[in-house]
Amino acid sequence: MPRTVLEPRFQVEYLSILDSEGSLDTALEPDLSAEDLKRLHRAMLLGRRLDERMIRLQRQGRIGTFAPIKGQEASQIGAAFTLRPSDWMVPSFRETAAMLMRGWPIETLLRFFAGHLEGGQPAPDQHDLPITIPVATQLPHAVGLAYAAQYRGDDVVVMTFFGDGATSEGDFHEALNFAGVWHVPVVFVCQNNQWAISVPLKKQTHSRTLAQKALAYGIPGLQVDGNDVLAVYAAAREAVARARAGDGPTLIECVTYRLGMHTTADDPTKYRTAEEVEAWERKDPLTRFGAYLQKKNLLEDGLIESIDAEIAAAVERFEALGPPDPLGMFDHVYAERPDHLEHQRREAAATPADPGPAAPEPPAPSPPMRGQRTTRR
């Protein structure tokens, strides 16, 4: 018997609407109101400004290790913008912009990165999981949430975020496989920012795209220009609509770039060139979208100032909180505190730890995250 070609053959689409030169594909341009365009822009800018502030706060020792999002604002905001409050968002640890859009207060994020457990607590009416740190392990949670929503007959879509490195993890493949088999309403958003700490994409996978990994699981995969908020929005809107209509999961690969470090404990000059970073800076999602809005006369005066004031007020509220009650660590281990924990709590209360100086002086260096080098060049 001769070898035969199995049908169907697969293809992966790439979507770009507004490129870095400012040229716009008007046929694909999403029909967004002026109000929505302004909301998108403000959310991206808030993500960027908070990012810059967080790095300064970390350098000053006022928060701990932080994973910056600079360069990935369009990927996060374009995708999260398509969710309803009743939908669920399942983040990794590099989604501060999307989390802000989903209603996480800035001071809650500050608390998270300052090591307060309280920074992981969503509001009672918020359908968001807290930050997940182990790479790709949140993806099965998103699939389970989507299964449960479908089981209950709820009109709910689940969106989960992860990076390019996550696509090498078993949990990524297991999650896509389960989602495909169960045909559940979940949207996988991969922020392919080209670097998993120091490992470039070409060492992460031999695949031409990450989007094509969806095809092996029988679900649609689409690659988009992740620095083009209009393209990300259009792709996510389509995927969310597909999920909502009962037509199953989608993988969206947002091709973007981490302009900053992996975390504040990292020095990216060690593993990548300034030329590469500069090339991506020219594709900055904010510059591109700002120019687009300017043409539409939608840029708001004083926007940066109002965002900075919002951040400053949140930082002030966060710092007024002071250190958390150490004994709070015994409160949410189990629904009811077992005897041995009650004893340990009493023991801890009787022998309080030295609280140390009120403010660390000089700032304590943050520990690395996940295999990070601690040495600097």
Partner 1 sequence: MARLNLVKALNLALRQEMERDGDVLILGEDVGVDGGVFRVTEDLHRTFGSKRVIDSPLAEAAIIGTGVGMALYGLKPVCEIQFSGFAFQCFHQIENHCARYRMRSQGRFHVPLVIRMPYGGGVRALEHHSESEEQFYAHIPGLKMVIPSGPRNARALLVSAIRDPDPVVFFEHKGLYHAAREEVPDESETLPIGRAQVVREGGDLTLIAYGAMLRVAREAADVLAAEDGVEAEVIDLLTISPLDRATLVASVQKTGRAVVVHEAPRSFGPGAEIAASIMDGAFLSLEAPIARVASWDVPYPGFAREKADVPDLARVLAAARRTLAF
Token output for 210: 């990450």
Asked whether position 146 contacts partner 1 by CB under 8 A, the answer is yes
As a whole number of Å, the CA-based R_g of the chain is 22
**Contact call for residues 352 and 327 (beta carbons, < 8 A):** no
Out of 113, 147, 233, 257, point to the residue binding partner 1 (CB under 8 A): 147
Asked whether position 140 contacts partner 1 by CB under 8 A, the answer is yes
Q: How far is the CB of 341 from partner 1 (least distance, A)?
A: 8
Q: How many residues bind partner 1 (CB under 8 A)?
A: 41
Told to judge if 206 belongs to the known catalytic residues of this protein, a careful annotator would answer no
Out of 25, 38, 42, 177, point to the residue binding partner 1 (CB under 8 A): 177
Q: Find tokens 């859009």 and name the residue.
A: 101
From the list 307, 261, 266, the residue with the least C-alpha distance to 94 is 261
Q: How far apart are CA 225 and CA 21, in angstroms?
A: 13
| Helix segments in 157-302, DSSP class H | 170-182, 201-204, 229-244, 274-281, 285-295
Return the range that interacts with partner 1 (CB under 8 A); candidates 13-21, 25-33, 40-48, 166-174: 166-174
**Contact call for residues 327 and 345 (beta carbons, < 8 A):** yes
Nearer to partner 1, 9 or 152 (CB): 152
Asked whether position 129 contacts partner 1 by CB under 8 A, the answer is yes
Out of 101, 142, 224, 234, point to the residue binding partner 1 (CB under 8 A): 142
* Burial (CB count within 10 angstroms: exposed 0-12, middle 13-18, buried 19+), residue 54: buried
Nearer to partner 1, 124 or 352 (CB): 124
Q: How far apart are CA 241 and CA 244, in angstroms?
A: 5
Q: How far apart are CA 22 and CA 146, in angstroms?
A: 37
Nearer to partner 1, 142 or 236 (CB): 142
Told to judge if 217 belongs to the known catalytic residues of this protein, a careful annotator would answer no
Told to judge if 271 belongs to the known catalytic residues of this protein, a careful annotator would answer yes
Out of 22, 85, 115, 134, point to the residue binding partner 1 (CB under 8 A): 134
Out of 152, 202, 206, 208, point to the residue binding partner 1 (CB under 8 A): 152
**Range 329-358, binding partner 1 (CB under 8 A):** 329, 331-335, 338-341
174: phi then psi, degrees, rounded to nearest 5: -65, -40
The 3-state DSSP class for residue 339 equals helix
Q: How far is the CB of 107 from partner 1 (least distance, A)?
A: 14
Q: How far is the CB of 217 from partner 1 (least distance, A)?
A: 10
Note the Cα 216 to chain centre separation in Å.
25
Q: How far is the CB of 226 from partner 1 (least distance, A)?
A: 25
**Contact call for residues 91 and 129 (beta carbons, < 8 A):** yes
Q: Would you tell me which residues interact with partner 1 (CB under 8 A)?
A: 117-118, 120-122, 124, 129-130, 132, 134, 137, 139-149, 151-152, 170-171, 174-175, 177-178, 181, 329, 331-335, 338-341
Catalytic (active-site) positions: 258, 262, 271
